[in-house]
Structures are given as structure tokens and as C-alpha cells.
């Protein structure tokens, strides 16, 4: 877009604005990946607990049988 085509009511973004938006997007991506990792760990630990409970119940059933 040429200088004369730029609408007067829209301010031009400076390099600082672009840098700020890039850092903001990077921080959001970091937060999102951390949140995904935490959710994955919670799901994995819940699955491991469920498997352990099933194993304990089956062992108890075999012992009490």
C-alpha cells in the first residue's frame, strides 16, 4: 500500500507496536503450550490411577476368591 493510499483516520503501526504484538503472541503460545502440557499430565495421572485401582481390585478378587 502506498503512502498516499493510506486512510487518514487509521494510524500507521510503528515497529514498536509490531514488536509488542509479536511478543504478546509468543507469550500466549507459551501459556497455551504449558496449559496443554498440564492437561496432558492430569489426564495421564488419572489414567494411571484408574489402571492401578483396576489392578488392585482384580488382585483382591483373586485373593478373596
Per residue in 11-64, pLDDT (tens digit) is 666 777 888 888 888 888 888 888 888 999 999 999 999 999 999 999 999 999
Q: What is the torsional sign of CA 15, 21, 23, 29? A: negative
Q: What is residue 2's predicted lDDT score, i.e. its pLDDT?
A: 57
Instruction: Find where cell 504484538 sits.
Output: 21
pTM above 0.75, yes or no: no
Q: What are the CA-CA distances from residue 28 to residues 21, 31, 37, 44 (Å)?
A: 10, 5, 14, 24
Amino acid at each position: 500500500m502506498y503512502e498516499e493510499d493510506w486512510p487518514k483516520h487509521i494510524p500507521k503501526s510503528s515497529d514498536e507496536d509490531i514488536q509488542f504484538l509479536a511478543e504478546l503472541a509468543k507469550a500466549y503460545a507459551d501459556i497455551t503450550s504449558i496449559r496443554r502440557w498440564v492437561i496432558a499430565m492430569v489426564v495421564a495421572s488419572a489414567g494411571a490411577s484408574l489402571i492401578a485401582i483396576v489392578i488392585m481390585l482384580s488382585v483382591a478378587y483373586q485373593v478373596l476368591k
